[in-house]
A and B are shown apart, each in its own frame.
Chain A
Amino acid sequence: MKKIWLSIVTVVLCMPGWLQAALTIEITQGIEGAVPIAVVPFATIGQPAPENVAQIIAADLARSGRFAPTAEQDLIARPSEVAQVRFQDWRTLGVDSLVIGKVESLAGGQYRVQFRVFDVFRARQLTGYSLPASADNLRHVAHRIADIIYEQLTGEPGAFATRIAYVISESRNGEKQYQLQLADSDGYNPSTLLTSQQPLMSPAWSPDGRRLAYVSFEKGRASIFVQDIGTGQRSELASFAGINGAPSWSPDGRSMVLTLSRDGNPEIYRLQLNDKKLTRLTRSAGIDTEPVFAPDGSSIVFTSDRGGSPQLYRMPVAGGRAQRVTFEGSYNASADFSPDGRSLALVHGEGGRYQIATLDLDTRLLRIVSDGRLDESPSYAPNGSMIIYATETGRRGVLAAVSSDGRFRQQFSLREGNVREPVWSPMPKSR
């Protein structure tokens, strides 16, 4: 009897593991990097599709800087059905998520694209869709799938199924030719809106994504036009004496701010679109230009050298006192607001180099995010995750995109000619 009691007592005393609270470990830092993801080439059912959907998706995810898709040659298997997936293998590969899919050709040049996204650790599906497509919108469908995956895994909306506009200039037979073009956010599928023998500048998207305003020298001097993207119809918005430049739309689409020198000096004006009423907003002897609206429509940021060198200033939309917002470096210009209104992307010149930087308007922290010598024209993606800008490689102007924290950069080698002044479209309203 005694022995039994003894053993019971001993056992009880040896159970501290059960009775103690679990050991707690604090994790206070991680690493910066892109999340590994495997995007398996989609299986083809029927006729092969004209586009490699998985490749478009992987390239989009990589360009955002948030994901590191496994190189195709390193994929350990090519499943296209959930039954074919052995999660243990993917865990060994070290990826967090897995994307598989199929592209099925249907009658009449139509396709059906199916995809699924899996959490590799928990071996369960996170999302999956089936989308219809045609041969000429297959790229767009692939971008939409990339948006869905991006939003599922990061919690933020994706901006891959969006467009960019830019100016491209080429020399043909000693003559310069300028074009205003639209393309997908990855630079593919270009279409030309306007061709001119004289310079084109400063394209600006309307908030509904249906029109572009731009500066054209086709009359021998600068004029601002607004062109409907769908119909190609355009109207002249401003053609005053002197400069007509830097058009920018208000968030409600009802007015614009622009630069005019009709009173003798480049100043900022606000133009109401319905009645063409013009209000002058700046009155300095210096150059005041490049005005942009804040996303909440309450203020304007612009470039001015009233202090001696170009810096960024902020003023209420109704006009009034302008407050300087950039204090680092001798050259700060070309501001673009982030969609949440809390940061600016800008051109920052220092030590003979011109680079893209972001300025946090709350903390005043300036961070350089590009590394060229003559970078210009930054434009935020409509989800705030990336910034597109113009840079030069060798002798050509090309476009590049950088994640908004500066971690991941990529150049687009699009086509011949000098590409510049990219602007990213707003989010499509259908979402």
Chain B
Amino acid sequence: MKLVKTVAVAMVMAWIAGCSSTGGTKGGDVAVEDRGAAEGAYEGATTTGVGGYGDLSVESLSDPNSPLSQRVIYFAYDSSEVAEEDRPLVEMHAAFLAANPGVKVSLEGHADERGAREYNIGLGDHRAQSVRRMLELQGVAAEQVSTVSYGEEKPAVEGHDESAWAMNRRVELVYVGY
């Protein structure tokens, strides 16, 4: 048992060390805020911070250059699964929300115009729930997230071809009051 404990501690130490040394791949801003007491204080906190999410202050919500300005996640036809390449975006928003427990977000689910309207309401709902689950897994409190589905009723792009439809199969993160 002693051996396992030692190894575990060593691994954690290594991981922390690794974290502190990675550069910010997504971040742009230099100033970074501590991630929070939950992770505990650690040595070597640099301006690039945790995972390179950049500024997670509420002000960054109104910053068009902030990665948080990306608030739409797209979906494949008849699917409510978040694509691999969209996960980091969701995680970033999760990080932001977790860092700002007073901020609420509404996840608005949509579908393209094909097929039955009420079924598309259900699809939009499944998509919003998908994103919500991901946020909650990342530590976002349930009270911060609400979902609503508009089905095909509020397309982002009016059009009757795949390029329009692809843009309408989405979940939009709408920060309440921002």
Is B92's CB within 8 Å of the partner chain A? no
What residues of A have a CB within 8 angstroms of the CB of B129 in the complex? 264-265
B residues in contact with A115, CB < 8 Å = none
Indicate with 1 or 0, residue by residue over B75-98, a CB within 8 angstroms of chain A CB atoms: 000100000000000000000000
Task: Point out the residues of chain B lying under 8 angstroms from A271, CB to CB.
Answer: none
Q: Which residues of A contact B53 (CB under 8 A)?
A: none
CA distance A309 to B115 in the complex (A): 12
Query: CB within 8 A of A221: which of B78, B123, B148, B160?
Result: B148
CA distance in complex: A245, B150 (Å): 11
Residues facing A in B132-178 (CB within 8 A) are 147-151, 153-154, 160
Partner of B153, one of A201, A242, A333: A201
When distances are taken between beta carbons in the complex, the residues of chain B under 8 Å from A181 are none
User: Is the beta-carbon distance between B114 and A354 smaller than 8 angstroms?
Assistant: yes
The verdict on A49 contacting chain B, using a C-beta distance below 8 Å, is no
Is the Cβ of B125 less than 8 Å from the Cβ of A242?
Answer: yes
Cα A303 to Cα B113 with chains together (Å): 17
Interface presence of A421 (CB below 8 A): yes
A259 touches B117 (CB 8 A): no
Is B9 positioned at the interface, with any CB of A under 8 Å from its CB? Answer: no
Known A199-B153, A199-B154, A287-B126: A245·B121 in contact at CB below 8 Å? yes
- Closest approach, in angstroms, between the C-beta of B171 and any C-beta of chain A? 15
A374 to B161 CA separation, bound complex (whole angstroms): 11
A310 with B125: in contact, given A201-B153, A243-B149, A374-B160 (CB under 8 Å)?
no
**Interface flag for A222 (CB, 8 Å):** yes
Q: How extensive is the interface on chain B, given as a class?
A: 20 to 34
Give Cα A333 to B151, complex, Å: 15
For residue B123, which residues in chain A have a CB less than 8 angstroms away from its CB? Answer: 287
Our pick among A221, A264, A266, A333 for the contact of B115 (Cβ within 8 Å) is A333
The answer, yes or no, to whether B41 is at the interface (CB within 8 Å) is: no
User: Shortest beta-carbon distance, B126 to chain A, in Å?
Assistant: 6
Which of A221, A289, A349, A354 interacts with B118 by CB under 8 Å? A289
Which residues of the partner chain B approach A287 to less than 8 Å between Cβ atoms? 119, 122-123, 125-126
Instruction: Mark A243-285 against chain B: 1 for CB-CB distance below 8 A, else 0.
Output: 1011000000000000101001110000000000000000000
Interface status of A347 (Cβ within 8 A of chain B): yes
- The CA of A376 and the CA of B120, in the complex, are separated in Å by 12
* Contact, CB under 8 Å: A331 / B125: no
Q: Determine the residue in chain B with the shortest Cβ distance to A421.
A: B117
B97 to chain A, nearest CB (A): 20
A303-B147 contact in complex given A261-B125, A309-B78, A392-B160, C-beta closer than 8 Å: no
Chain A nearest CB from B110 CB (Å) reads 12
- Minimum C-beta distance from A381 to chain B (A): 20
A20 to chain B, nearest CB (A): 64
Given A266-B122, A266-B125, A202 contacting B116 (CB threshold 8 A): no
A376 and B160 contacting across the interface, CB-CB below 8 Å: no
User: When the two chains form their complex, are residues A222 and B116 in contact, meaning their CB atoms are under 8 A apart?
Assistant: no
A103 to B113, CA, bound (A): 47
Across the interface, which residues of A come within 8 angstroms of B147, CB to CB? Answer: 242
Q: In the complex, what residues of A have CB within 8 A of residue B116's CB?
A: 290, 303, 310, 333-334, 347, 376-377
Known: A199-B153, A261-B122, A305-B119. 20 other contacts (CB 8 A): A201-B117, A222-B148, A242-B147, A259-B122, A261-B125, A266-B126, A289-B122, A290-B116, A290-B119, A303-B119, A310-B115, A310-B116, A331-B115, A334-B118, A347-B116, A374-B114, A376-B115, A377-B117, A392-B160, A421-B117
Which of A's residues lie within 8 Å of B, judged by CB?
199, 201-202, 217, 220-222, 242-243, 245-246, 259, 261, 264-266, 287-290, 303, 305, 309-310, 331, 333-334, 347, 349, 354, 374, 376-377, 392, 395, 420-421
